[in-house]
């Protein structure tokens, strides 16, 4: 057992190295970075972080990203819940075909959709709003949420539903008061994956926004090209993008793998 644990330790070290380098760089001045190699910051500075927290174009990038990711997570999970219930409890005309069609939307390369998405959301007047990005990310998040939730719901015995109806619960009341609490781990896992895939996606988020809803990732690419090569600043911005994900993952650490293990293929 002791010898075997070498493998995960080495693997985690390998994962942490590039992250360490990013964090180390964020505490260096750009001059120090360009001057040469140093394993630790020689002149430790918080200047890069200071710039980000005081410049609205920077910190609004984070607020924008968190806003559209949150809207997307809420929409995706809210509409996926009843759909997953239907798939897990009932047979209906075209159910299997519909389920597969939903999954195919995860296969569409975002690059394929970038331009049509821009035209679609401009046409309906949503261009450069948080809602536009949130709705666009539903394309790949809703199928995933349905997939995960359906797996969790399959694990809940049908007797639960029947007992509740005998007890005189109406369907909406049963669903909200009894059923959702019974699969709250599944809701957590689905929400986590929606958050994750919406947070990391850039191509659509960038295509659908200009100024008002510009995501942090797009702010970073703009800065990289316009303000010269400010590596320290970019590293600090990059470091800050890791934090929301790390916080969210800590909450679902015990369920994260279970979501897929229970799902069907």
Partner 1 sequence: MKTENQKAWLFVLPVLALVAFNALIPMMTVVNYSVQETFGDNVFFWQGLDWFQQILRSDRFHDALGRQFLFTFLILIIEVPLGIAIALSMPRKGFWVPVCLVLMALPMLIPWNVVGAMWNIFTLPDIGLLGYFLNHVLGINYDMTQDPVAAWITIVTMDVWHWTSLVVLLSYAGLVSIPDAYYQAAKIDGASNWAVFRFIQLPKMKTVLTIAILLRFMDSFNIYTEPFVLTGGGPGNSTTLLSIDLVKIALGQFDLGPAAAMSLIYFAITLLVSWLFYTLMTKDDLN
Stretch 200-239 residues interacting with partner 1 (CB under 8 A): 200-203, 216-217, 220-221, 224, 231, 234-235, 238
Distances (CA, A) of 144 to 97, 128, 132, 187, 189: 16, 25, 19, 12, 11
Segment contacting partner 1 (CB under 8 A): 31-39, 40-48, 50-58, 179-187? 31-39
190 lines the binding site for partner 1 (CB under 8 A): no
In the complex, the smallest distance separating the C-beta of residue 99 from partner 1, rounded to whole angstroms, is 9
d(CA 124, CA 145): 26
In the complex, the smallest distance separating the C-beta of residue 53 from partner 1, rounded to whole angstroms, is 18
Name, in order, each residue with C-beta under 8 angstroms of 237's C-beta and a sequence gap of 6 or more. 52, 58, 216, 219, 220, 223
User: For residues 126-185, which are near partner 1 according to CB under 8 A?
Assistant: 135-136, 138-139, 142-143, 146
16 lines the binding site for partner 1 (CB under 8 A): yes
Specify whether the CB–CB gap between 120 and 126 falls below 8 A. no
According to CB under 8 A, which one of 187, 196, 213, 233 is a site residue for partner 1? 196
Specify whether the CB–CB gap between 217 and 202 falls below 8 A. yes
According to CB under 8 A, which one of 33, 153, 164, 183 is a site residue for partner 1? 33
SS3 39: coil
In the complex, the smallest distance separating the C-beta of residue 67 from partner 1, rounded to whole angstroms, is 15
96 lines the binding site for partner 1 (CB under 8 A): no
116 lines the binding site for partner 1 (CB under 8 A): yes
d(CA 212, CA 199): 18
In the complex, the smallest distance separating the C-beta of residue 59 from partner 1, rounded to whole angstroms, is 16
Q: What are phi and psi of 93, to 5 degrees?
A: -55, 120
5 lines the binding site for partner 1 (CB under 8 A): yes
């Amino acid at each position: 057992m002791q010898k075997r644990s070498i493998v995960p330790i080495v693997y985690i070290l390998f994962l942490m190295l590039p992250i360490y380098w990013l964090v180390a760089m964020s505490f260096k001045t750009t001059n120090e970075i360009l001057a040469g190699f140093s394993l630790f910051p020689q002149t430790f500075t918080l200047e890069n972080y200071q710039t980000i927290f005081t410049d609205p174009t920077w910190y609004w990038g984070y607020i924008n990203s968190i806003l559209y990711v949150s809207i997307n997570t809420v929409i995706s999970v809210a509409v996926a819940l009843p759909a997953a219930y239907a798939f897990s409890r009932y047979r209906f005309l075209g159910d299997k075909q519909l389920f597969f069609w939903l999954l195919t939307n995860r296969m569409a390369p975002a690059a394929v959709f970038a331009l049509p998405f821009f035209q679609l959301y401009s046409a309906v007047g949503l261009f450069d709003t948080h809602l536009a990005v949130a709705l666009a990310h539903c394309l790949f998040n809703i199928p995933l949420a349905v997939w995960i939730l359906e797996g969790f719901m399959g694990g809940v015995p049908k007797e639960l539903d029947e007992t509740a109806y005998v007890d005189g619960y109406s369907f909406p009341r049963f669903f909200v008061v009894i059923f959702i609490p019974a699969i709250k781990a599944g809701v957590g896992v689905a929400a986590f994956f929606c958050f994750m895939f919406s947070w990391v996606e850039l191509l659509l988020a960038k295509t659908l926004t200009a100024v008002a809803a510009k995501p942090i990732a797009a702010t970073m690419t703009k800065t990289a090209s316009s303000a010269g090569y400010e590596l320290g600043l970019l590293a600090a911005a990059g470091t800050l993008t890791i934090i929301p994900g790390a916080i969210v993952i800590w909450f679902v650490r015990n369920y994260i793998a279970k979501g897929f293990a229970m799902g069907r293929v």
